[in-house]
Amino acid sequence: MTIRNRARIVGAYEHPERVIPGKSIAQVHGEVALGALADAGLRLDDVDGYFCAGDAPGFGPISMAEYLGLKNLSYVDSTEIGGSSPIAHLGHAASAIAVGKCRVALITLAGLPRSVPWTGSMADAPEAAFEGVFGANTVAMYALAAQRHMYEYGTTSAQLAEIKVAASLHAQHNPNAFVPKAVTVEEVLESPIISHPLHRLDCCVVTDGGGALVVVAPEVAKDLSRRSVNILGHGEAPKHGANGRIDLTYTGAVWSGPRAFEEAGVRPDDIDYVSIYDSFTITVLEAIEDLGFCDKGAGGSFVSDGALVAPAGRLPFNTDGGGLCNNHPANRGGVTKVIEAVRQLREEANPNVQVPDCELALAQGTGGSLGTRMGSATVILGRD
């Protein structure tokens, strides 16, 4: 069974604040849930499917369903694959709707890493004793991936900087962006090295915030006045650490991307707009290659000369400013990738970055780490 044409996104909402002191994570989940439902023209009582990940407090969907007052649930999902979780949830929601498990699915994400220090631990993970003792922190693992890509393919820091520049050119048109300032390649390269070869401006922002989506059956969408977005294809895949013998030059998108394209019945050349998870600039470059927008190793040249800049670039990306400039709620920005894709397909993006005649969009999530193990999720959306 396919999910193509079996479900619609009718509600999308991004929390407008980037620093939220004095509120709980559950409160922010609630605010984005109500925002997305209002956008769709629905109520909490209409929801019969609920999806959240490890950012949800307490007993995951059980605690949150009670907190939100979701009394009519027949389906819950707490899939946890890091920043790609909401994109996986989107595919799972469409699947559940396609087989009749629910008709109105709510997906929420929220977190307060800017205001509240993270207290979680991976100490009991099976890999912890072999990696943590060597200082395998997040930025260092992505830096290793960048170093290897540079060694294998001649990619340069200036080419990676082009990704940040494109995101910043878009963010200046977003009044809610955490860093709404355009930067140049030179400014990226002059920013401090955090872990060689990644500069500070190669790294995403850290923000509070959240987002939510409402996915419904086609017959529900027909009765709503809000313009909907069609879910055409979905794919997901893990990539393992291979006991240290990992190839750092590709992501799980080499598997999740083709699965999504096959189900949607389209090709990379058909895509008008992409939302690509941008925890670091190298994350974007590898994903562009893995998704088939250029050959492996050609990402550096592909992203140069304004290729990612909307509206005229050959592959406009992250027109809200992305995680590099706009918002990275809960240190996992997958939901914002779908939200901006929905804006583009509804023709509701900022006019300065709206892609003309945007009919097909792709959202890509990367969870975990390019340097160790990760989960990848890809979804292809169409204008309904």
User: Prior bond to 197 cis, omega within 30?
Assistant: yes
pLDDT at 119: 60
**pTM for the model:** 0.97
Q: Is the pLDDT reported for residue 19 higher than 90? A: yes
Q: Is pLDDT at 344 greater than 90 in this prediction?
A: yes
Question: Domain residues of the chain, as ranges?
Answer: 8-117+203-383
The string of pLDDT tens digits covering residues 118-158 is: 666 667 788 877 777 777 789 999 999 999 999 999 999 99
> Residue holding tokens 């890493």?
113
Q: Which residues lie below 8 Å from residue 124, measured CB to CB, with a gap of 6+?
A: none
What pLDDT is attached to residue 244?
Answer: 80
Report the distance separating Cα 80 and Cα 4, nearest Å.
24
The tens digit of pLDDT for each residue in 70-129 reads 999 999 999 999 999 999 999 999 999 999 999 999 999 999 999 987 666 667 788 877
143, 195 contact by CB (below 8 A): yes
Structure tokens belonging to residue 344: 């583009």
Report the distance separating Cα 359 and Cα 315, nearest Å.
Answer: 13
What's the whole-number average pLDDT of the chain?
Answer: 96
What is the mean predicted confidence (pLDDT) over 21-35?
A: 97
- Give the SS3 label for residue 50: strand
Calpha distance 53→59 (Å, rounded): 11
Cα–Cα distance for residue pair 80/102, rounded to 1 Å: 20
| Section 58-76 average pLDDT | 97
Supply φ then ψ for residue 268, to 5 degrees: -55, -35
Average pLDDT over residues 61-71: 97
Which residues of the chain form beta strands (DSSP E)? Answer: 8-14, 49-51, 75-77, 104-111, 193-195, 198-199, 209-216, 229-239, 273-276, 360-368, 374-383
CA angle 100, 105, 109 (to 5 degrees): 145
pLDDT digits (tens, 9 = 90+) for 291-338: 999 999 999 999 999 999 999 999 999 999 999 999 999 899 899 999
Helix orientation angle between 281-290 and 157-171, rounded to the nearest 10 degrees: 100
What CATH fold (topology level) applies to the domain 8-117+203-383?
A: Peroxisomal Thiolase; Chain A, domain 1 (3.40.47)
